[in-house]
Amino acid sequence: MKFLKEGRYEPAKSIIETGDDKYATKKEFKKKIGGPEGVEVTFEVYDSVYGFTNKDWGRVVCLFTNGEMF
């Protein structure tokens, strides 16, 4: 989440070791967009898209994959 929240890369090993919110399927964070006088936006980050509705997909702005096949 540090990559999305703060724009900082964090090695996978350190994320795995901390176990920070490891089992959460949905996480939220707020970020100010548009400089000092910008608007605060709430972002939702999901661990899985299974069960997404058409409405959910209409709100997607980015999708990360790890390349694994299921």
Q: Is 65 helix (H, G, I), strand (E, B) or coil?
A: coil
In a domain, residue 9? The reply is no
Q: How would you class 67 by CB atoms within 10 Å of its CB: exposed for 0-12, middle for 13-18, buried for 19 or more?
A: exposed
- The pLDDT of residue 70: 61
Task: Tell me the pLDDT tens digit for each residue of 5-61.
Answer: 777 887 777 766 666 555 668 888 898 888 888 999 999 988 888 889 999 999 998
Residue 4, judged by CB atoms within 10 A of its CB (0-12, 13-18, 19+), counts as middle
Asked if residue 53 belongs to a domain, the reply is yes
Number of domains in the chain: 1
| Residues of the domain holding 50 | 24-70
